[in-house]
């Protein structure tokens, strides 16, 4: 009965720690996985598998739930079932195997090294999911996205550094509890305390904004049903009129340097079908526009998901094609971009690092944009398909890590919200609410220079993965193993 209560407590803490509109208690993540690791260490192999599988299955079900009776047309295309099946059924199994592998490997080493082995193997899993084809990046670090004072190691270690610290603390507390090892408790407290004080100290030294520029952002809240009608001329006209009116309001509000529309907010193929309307709007408000739309590639006979930069004179001065497509759904339907380059922009910011939707989950792409000159990061997303649930909040939480890793201001603009501007220190500004039409002025600044994470080309996760792989092979082929911190006698 005690084990059941522990299991339920850990599951509830884990769910509450992840981003959500109603309740987001990220601090719980530092203890949420203690019961799971404790039970994994305590029970035999069959029970370990069942405990972990049930934990991750229920956690994924609560975190990623999609109401099948709401916007049922979302599921009419059978191809969308593939990523959902992977997420709800395959991923819990994979996460279970990762924890069991960590437990097996750690058991072959002295007890004081085990928390770091748990953390290293979990980090390796997160890293692999960002680099393999059809990977779906997941990270426990996003639990901390609203706690910038705990994130100031990210400019050196990246998002993976926070996952490593979280898993180390959880594993150390679990092992300290099970094996009555006070030193492990002290290790966990020391790691958390040092990270906390370093964060507070770093925020005190943060460079204030010196040369602010204003970017207008439009959150149109275009529903999934309206997106399905995007090829209907009547509804196209209504939506374009709405975007035009919102753009005019922003221009009159404070004449921003740029007005940003979300992913696929414009009429399908507007640059090929209705570019004159767009040119006239840009000229009328005398403000550049960065819009999301489709662009049909006649060579591949597939559309590209693009962001188009329109000057105040109505000229198209830059196009970014989405480079990392959503697994299975977009990969089957769209043409991917070939190279990642920022868009030239000489109005207070030299170059714009544009990302589209799923791309903000990948540290590598944002890093490439910054390495090639981007002084501001812009994420344009369209979360209408997901509806009014937790997905858009989980998505938004990644943009703060891209800002921290690269030392840049970043804007996350989602069609249906939430939307936010984030400082280079990972501090979130005012969040535009989910499910509401809204406009806002975002005050940002172009930044140069590189963080330690960028200078090392994101070396930390690769180093940890190399070490963890070595420990796994050593534990399988060479180690006699230890139990409870005491070596087995041969």
- For residues 426 and 236, which has the higher predicted lDDT (pLDDT)? 426
The string of DSSP letters for 420-439 reads EEE-TT--B-PPBPTTS-EE
Q: pLDDT tens digits for 283-321?
A: 999 999 999 999 988 888 889 999 999 999 999 999 999
pLDDT-derived band of residue 69, with 50, 70 and 90 as boundaries?
low
Q: pLDDT tens digits for 436-477?
A: 999 999 999 999 999 999 999 999 999 999 999 999 999 998
pLDDT for position 299: 82
Torsion of CA 250, 252, 253, 259, to 10 degrees: 30
Contact 262, 219 (CB under 8 A): yes
Q: Give me the mean pLDDT over the 242-263 stretch.
A: 93
Q: pLDDT tens digits for 148-183?
A: 999 999 999 999 999 999 999 999 999 999 999 999
| Closest C-alpha to 116, from 162, 158, 167 | 167
3-state secondary structure of 211: coil
- For residues 136 and 424, which has the higher predicted lDDT (pLDDT)? 424
Q: Give me the mean pLDDT over the 79-95 stretch.
A: 82
The pTM of this model reads 0.93
pLDDT-derived band of residue 489, with 50, 70 and 90 as boundaries?
very low
Q: pLDDT tens digits for 361-406?
A: 999 999 999 999 999 999 999 988 787 889 999 999 999 999 999 9
| Closest C-alpha to 48, from 91, 98, 2 | 98
pLDDT for position 490: 31
pLDDT for position 270: 86
Contact 387, 67 (CB under 8 A): yes
Neighbours of 356 (CB within 10 A): 28
pLDDT for position 486: 45
Q: pLDDT tens digits for 365-376?
A: 999 999 999 999
Q: Is the pLDDT of residue 134 over 80?
A: no
Q: Where are the alpha helices (DSSP H) in 180-316?
A: 182-204, 224-228, 233-254, 270-273, 275-285
Q: What is the widest separation between alpha-carbon atoms in the chain?
A: 84
If you average pLDDT over every residue of the chain, what do you get? 91
**How many angstroms separate the CA atoms of 74 and 85, rounded?**
15
3-state secondary structure of 79: helix
**How many angstroms separate the CA atoms of 433 and 486, rounded?**
54
pLDDT for position 140: 96
pLDDT for position 307: 95
Domain ranges of the chain: 2-205+458-482, 213-449
pLDDT-derived band of residue 83, with 50, 70 and 90 as boundaries?
confident
**How many angstroms separate the CA atoms of 365 and 322, rounded?**
11
3-state secondary structure of 407: coil
pLDDT-derived band of residue 234, with 50, 70 and 90 as boundaries?
confident
Q: pLDDT tens digits for 308-354?
A: 999 999 999 999 999 998 887 787 788 888 789 999 998 889 899 99
**Fold category of 213-449 in CATH:** Nitrilase/N-carbamoyl-D-aminoacid amidohydrolase (3.60.110)
């Amino acid at each position: 009965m005690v084990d059941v209560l522990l299991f339920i407590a850990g599951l509830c803490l884990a769910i509450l720690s992840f981003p959500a509109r109603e309740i987001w208690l990220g601090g719980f993540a530092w203890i949420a996985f203690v019961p799971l690791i404790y039970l994994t260490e305590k029970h035999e192999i069959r029970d370990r598998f069942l405990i972990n599988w049930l934990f991750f299955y229920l956690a994924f079900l609560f975190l990623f739930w999609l109401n099948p009776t709401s916007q049922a047309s979302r599921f009419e295309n059978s191809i969308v079932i593939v990523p959902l099946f992977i997420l709800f059924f395959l991923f819990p199994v994979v996460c279970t195997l990762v924890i069991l592998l960590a437990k097996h490997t750690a058991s072959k080493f002295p007890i004081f090294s085990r928390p770091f082995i748990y953390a290293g193997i979990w980090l390796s899993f997160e890293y692999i999911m960002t680099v393999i084809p059809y990977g779906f990046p997941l990270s426990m670090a996003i639990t901390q996205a609203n706690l910038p004072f705990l994130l100031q190691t990210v400019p050196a270690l990246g998002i993976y550094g926070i996952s490593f610290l979280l898993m180390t603390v959880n594993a150390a507390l679990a092992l300290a509890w099970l094996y009555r090892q006070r030193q492990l408790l002290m290790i966990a407290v020391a790691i958390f305390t040092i990270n906390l004080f370093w964060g507070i100290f770093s925020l005190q030294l943060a460079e204030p904004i010196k040369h602010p520029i204003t970017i207008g952002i439009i959150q149109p809240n275009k529903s999934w049903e309206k997106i399905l009608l995007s090829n209907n001329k009547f509804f196209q006209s209504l939506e374009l009129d709405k975007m035009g009116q919102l753009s005019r309001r922003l221009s009159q509000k404070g004449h921003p340097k740029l007005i940003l529309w979300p992913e696929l907010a414009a009429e399908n193929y507007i640059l090929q079908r209705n570019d004159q309307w767009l040119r006239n709007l840009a000229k009328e408000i005398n403000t550049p526009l960065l819009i999301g739309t489709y662009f049909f590639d006649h060579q591949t006979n597939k559309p590209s998901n693009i962001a188009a930069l329109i000057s105040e004179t109505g000229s198209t001065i830059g196009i970014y094609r989405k480079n990392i497509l959503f697994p299975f759904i977009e990969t089957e339907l769209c043409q991917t971009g070939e190279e990642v380059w920022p868009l030239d922009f000489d109005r207070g910011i030299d170059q714009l690092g544009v990302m589209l939707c799923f791309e903000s989950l990948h540290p590598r792409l944002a890093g490439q944009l910054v390495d090639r000159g981007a002084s501001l990061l812009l994420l344009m997303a369209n979360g209408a398909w997901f509806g009014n649930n937790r997905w858009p909040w989980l998505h938004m939480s990644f943009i703060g890590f891209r800002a921290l890793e690269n030392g840049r201001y970043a804007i996350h603009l989602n069609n249906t919200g939430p939307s936010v501007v984030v400082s280079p220190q990972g501090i979130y500004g005012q969040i535009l609410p989910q499910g509401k039409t809204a406009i806002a002025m975002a005050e940002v600044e172009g930044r140069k220079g590189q963080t330690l994470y960028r200078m090392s080309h994101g070396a930390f996760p690769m180093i940890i993965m190399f070490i963890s792989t070595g420990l796994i092979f050593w534990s399988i082929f060479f180690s006699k193993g230890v139990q409870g911190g005491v070596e087995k006698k041969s």
